[in-house]
Amino acid sequence: MKKTAFLFPGQGSQSVGMGLDLYKEYDFVRELFDMAEDITKMHLSKLCFKGPMEDLTMTVNLQPAVTAVNIAYLAAVQKEGIKYDITAGHSLGEFSALCGSGVVSVKDVFNLVLKRGALMHRESTKHKGAMHAIIGLSIDDVNELVKEVQAEGIVAVANHNTASQIVTTGSPAQVEKVSLLASSKGARAIPLRVSGAWHSELIKGAEHEFKEFLETVSFNVPEKPVIHNVTADSEINPEEIKSVVAKQFCNPVRWYDSMRRLMDEKVEIFAEIGPGKVLTGLLKKILPEDYPCRIYNINSMKTLESFLEEFV
């Protein structure tokens, strides 16, 4: 059996209507949404299926909403008995990966992302922030530019997505300055539509509080390895997993390194479980052309059925 990794998307993958066809098809998905709405006290089905996009994109709403859709597709795949070996999730998606690996329960994953979203929203209202995607420079190049500007204010690398796609985060003026320097070196800089400077010191005020909240949640030994954003590595000890997850707040998402780690693990089947195609797009830029693998999106009934046809 070929080694299989399930990948879970995060913020930026949302769209109005996500998960609706699955919700219509399965009783257990409707029950999952009912449970999530009871925990979060949000009308998540309305947010996911009808929007509006402006409300859905608010981080306090979006984190439980995307997680609900991720877990719904995961439940549909698990119901068919599909086996997988390892999980990873991009930023917010790491919490779905923790659930998919048995580290946290379905109930607790919603408690975690609800708290995380509320804390991040709170900090973003206190500290105006920005994030830009820089296309065309290496991580070392971008780190050098960030160092040049850091003396003037808060700026950092948020995501190392591919070899040449790096996201910066921090105070708007400093993020803009790094982008101007990057542009002068021939790179493209694209402002992202976000409400805060995620993975930066500007949301540091929430990190300790989230760490304390993690202590109220039961973490289990993983049934399957989880590749963590902060370390691009797996961890067995539940207390260490809590520590690594808490550090995600103000540290970069090492997605490029995480996917290279999956290559080292000889993963040959990659399935993005949840809305959109962001992670699939990144993966195709990361994996060498001659790397033997198959890549799947599971983001609709049609793609789910196509996936199941090959594996059931």
Split at pLDDT 50, 70, 90, the class of 260 is very high
User: Residue 42: its pLDDT value, please?
Assistant: 97
Q: Using an 8 Å Cβ cutoff, are 157 and 142 in contact?
A: yes
User: Residue 311: its pLDDT value, please?
Assistant: 79
User: What are the tens digits of pLDDT across the range 275-305?
Assistant: 999 999 999 999 999 999 999 999 999 999 9
150-155 LR contacts (CB < 8 Å, sep 24+): 150/174, 152/177, 154/197, 154/200, 154/201, 154/202, 155/200
User: What are the tens digits of pLDDT across the range 55-64?
Assistant: 999 999 999 9
CA distance 195 to 159: 16
User: Residue 226: its pLDDT value, please?
Assistant: 98
User: Residue 195: its pLDDT value, please?
Assistant: 86
Q: Using an 8 Å Cβ cutoff, are 257 and 160 in contact?
A: yes
Could you tell me what percent of the chain has a pLDDT over 90?
98
Q: Mean pLDDT across the stretch 33-46? A: 98
Q: Using an 8 Å Cβ cutoff, are 252 and 200 in contact?
A: no
Reply yes or no on whether the pLDDT at 249 is more than 90: yes
Q: How are strands ordered across the β-sheet holding 269-273?
A: 226-227, 86-89, 4-8, 269-273, 294-298
User: What are the tens digits of pLDDT across the range 147-161?
Assistant: 999 999 999 999 999
Q: How are strands ordered across the β-sheet holding 165-170?
A: 155-162, 165-170, 130-135, 188-191
Polymer length in residues for the chain: 312
CA distance 63 to 93: 9
Residue with tokens 């698990």: 78
| Domain 128-191: homologous superfamily in CATH | Malonyl-CoA ACP transacylase, ACP-binding (3.30.70.250)
User: What are the tens digits of pLDDT across the range 64-95?
Assistant: 999 999 999 999 999 999 999 999 999 999 99
User: Residue 278: its pLDDT value, please?
Assistant: 97
Residue ranges per structural domain of the chain: 4-125+201-311, 128-191
DSSP string, the chain: ---EEEEE--TT---TTTTHHHHHH-HHHHHHHHHHHHHH-S-HHHHHHH--HHHHTSHHHHHHHHHHHHHHHHHHHHHTT----EEEESTTHHHHHHHHTTSS-HHHHHHHHHHHHHHHHHHHHHS--EEEEEESS-HHHHHHHHHHHHTTS-EEEEEEEETTEEEEEE-HHHHHHHHHHHHHTT-EEEE---SS-TTSGGGGGGHHHHHHHHTTS-----SS-EE-TTTSS----HHHHHHHHHHGGGS-B-HHHHHHHHHHTT--EEEEESSSSHHHHHHHHHS-TT---EEEEE-SHHHHHHHHHHH-
Could you tell me what percent of the chain has a pLDDT over 70?
100
User: What are the tens digits of pLDDT across the range 179-231?
Assistant: 999 999 999 999 998 889 999 999 999 999 999 999 999 999 999 999 999 99
DSSP strand pairing (86-89 vs 294-298) = unpaired
Split at pLDDT 50, 70, 90, the class of 127 is very high
- Give whole-number Cα distances, 263 to 256, 268, 287, in Å: 11, 8, 8
Split at pLDDT 50, 70, 90, the class of 310 is confident
User: Residue 190: its pLDDT value, please?
Assistant: 97
Pick the CATH number of 4-125+201-311 from 3.40.50.1970, 3.40.366.10, 2.60.40.650, 2.60.120.330: 3.40.366.10
Q: At what angle do helices 59-79 and 93-100 cross, to 10 degrees?
A: 30
**Mean pLDDT of all residues belonging to the chain:** 97
Reply yes or no on whether the pLDDT at 1 is more than 80: no
Q: Using an 8 Å Cβ cutoff, are 304 and 73 in contact?
A: yes
Reply yes or no on whether the pLDDT at 312 is more than 90: no
Return the bridge partners of 157, or none: 168
Q: Mean pLDDT across the stretch 126-142? A: 97
Catalytic residues: 91, 199
Q: Using an 8 Å Cβ cutoff, are 227 and 233 in contact?
A: yes
CA distance 70 to 219: 20
User: Residue 27: its pLDDT value, please?
Assistant: 98
Reply yes or no on whether the pLDDT at 33 is more than 80: yes
